[in-house]
Every structure is written in C-alpha cells, then in structure tokens.
C-alpha cells in the first residue's frame, strides 16, 4: 500500500449532529486556547504550544474525550495531544479541560493520517494511544482499519526510541489483527512475550462504553508495545 493509497482510504466516518451549548462554546470560544489548526507542510512546535516542555503523548480518535481528559488530569507531568474529527466530542473535551484548568492538553480536529504526515516531527512523541477505534468488522472494510503496517511505520518515525504504543479494543478479530501487524513490524516489540495481551494498566481509565460491554460479557484486549527503531 503506497502513501497515496493510505491517504485516500479513511479510517473514520465524520459524524455530525446537534451540538450542546457547552460543546459549541468549547469549539468556538475556547478553541484558541486548546485547539491547533495545522498549516500545510508546517511542523507543529510541540515544545512551545504547551505551557511546560515535557513528554507528549498522542491519542487518535478520543471520542467524547472522557478517558483522555482523566489521563490529562492524572498525569500533569505529561502533555497530551488528541486528534478527533467528531465535533461534539472535541467541543465537550475542550469545555471540560477548561473547567479543570488544564494546560497539558491540546486538540486537533483533522484527519490524523494527514496531520502525522505533514505536521508532526520525527522523534517528537513519547507515546501513542488508540482506544476502541472503529473495527470495520466486515472483511471487505478491513482495509479501512487505521492499524496497518504503513501507518505503524509512520508512527514509528514520529515516536522516540523506546516510546510506547498502547491500543485497546473490544473486538477480538481486530485485536488479533493489531497483534499481527505490530509483531510482524520490525520496529515494535511486545512488552510481554509473543502473542500475549496486556492487562489494562491502571493509567487507562475504564469508559462507560467499556463497562457496558463488560456487563454484556464482551472481552477487552490491551496491547502495549515499545518502539525499537
């Protein structure tokens, strides 16, 4: 798969709908404080956009932002950069971040693949998080899954050596796909032995979605790898 193909195949559906007043306030009034508008082929200076110069952890597809918000609150020693196209989730996260006076959280509302290609510097991220991404469960749609070899090669380039990759999904087939892609990739190493999934680390909050799945008997698979490039 070429970069051109990777760019054309979108791994997300851009949802729209009615926004609450709080979400509108976050998207409009608070955007200058928390939002980043990447410019074409312009690298974002992560050392200057945050109040403190510290490790930056990237999360793609944060949904309504609950877990990312909790992490940013619990880990003031880290900076968090979230990328999401779901406007309601973006607005909600920004509004809640403002209520909690967070200075270690920034948000981008664009296609993550394009942002990584053109706006994120090599060796600039200490971690990458992908929680409950769209599994595109139909076989004919598997090509839309964001976790592909080409995407992970690009992510390896953006991560520092030793940087972590943490993924979680409640779809067993997608978990197996993630495991295969990561274990076959020459730059990533499972923090556990081969083919072994990780227990959910305490730092990853349990979402309402995940709790509901557990009540229904759904499994959850966590994968934690390090970048060994």
- Annotated catalytic residues are 134
Burial (0-12, 13-18, 19+ Cβ within 10 Å), 130 = buried
Which strands form 79-83's sheet, in the order they lie side by side? 35-36, 105-108, 79-83, 56-60, 125-131, 159-169, 221-227, 188-190
Taking CA atoms, 7 is separated from 10, 116, 139, 144, 146, in Å, by: 7, 11, 20, 11, 11
Q: What angle do CA 47, 82, 162 make, to 5 degrees?
A: 65
Burial (0-12, 13-18, 19+ Cβ within 10 Å), 135 = buried
What are the tokens at 1? 């798969």
204 has which bridge partners?
A: none
Q: What angle do CA 171, 175, 180 make, to 5 degrees?
A: 150
Lookup result for tokens 């959280």: 105
* Residue ranges in the chain assigned as alpha helix (H): 3-8, 21-28, 31-34, 46-49, 66-74, 87-99, 112-119, 149-158, 172-184, 208-215
């Amino acid at each position: 798969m070429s970069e051109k193909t990777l760019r054309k195949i979108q791994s997300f559906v851009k949802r729209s709908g009615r926004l609450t007043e709080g979400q509108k306030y976050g998207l409009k009034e608070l955007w200058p404080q928390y939002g980043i508008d990447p410019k074409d082929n312009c690298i974002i200076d992560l050392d200057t956009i945050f109040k403190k110069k510290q490790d930056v952890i990237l999360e793609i597809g944060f949904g309504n932002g609950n877990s990312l918000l909790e992490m940013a609150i619990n880990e003031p020693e880290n900076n968090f950069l979230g990328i999401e196209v779901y406007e309601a989730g973006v607005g909600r996260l920004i509004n809640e971040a403002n209520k909690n006076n967070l200075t270690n959280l920034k948000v981008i509302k664009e296609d993550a693949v394009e942002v990584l290609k053109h706006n994120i510097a090599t060796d600039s991220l200490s971690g990458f998080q992908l929680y409950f991404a769209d599994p595109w469960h139909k076989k004919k749609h598997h090509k839309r899954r964001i976790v592909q070899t080409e995407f992970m090669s690009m992510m390896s380039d953006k991560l520092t050596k030793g940087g972590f990759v943490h993924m979680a999904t409640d779809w067993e087939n997608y978990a197996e796909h993630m495991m295969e892609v990561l274990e076959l990739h020459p730059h990533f190493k499972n923090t556990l032995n081969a083919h072994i999934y990780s227990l959910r680390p305490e730092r990853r909050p349990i979402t309402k979605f995940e709790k509901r799945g557990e009540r229904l008997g759904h499994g959850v698979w966590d994968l934690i790898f390090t970048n060994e490039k």
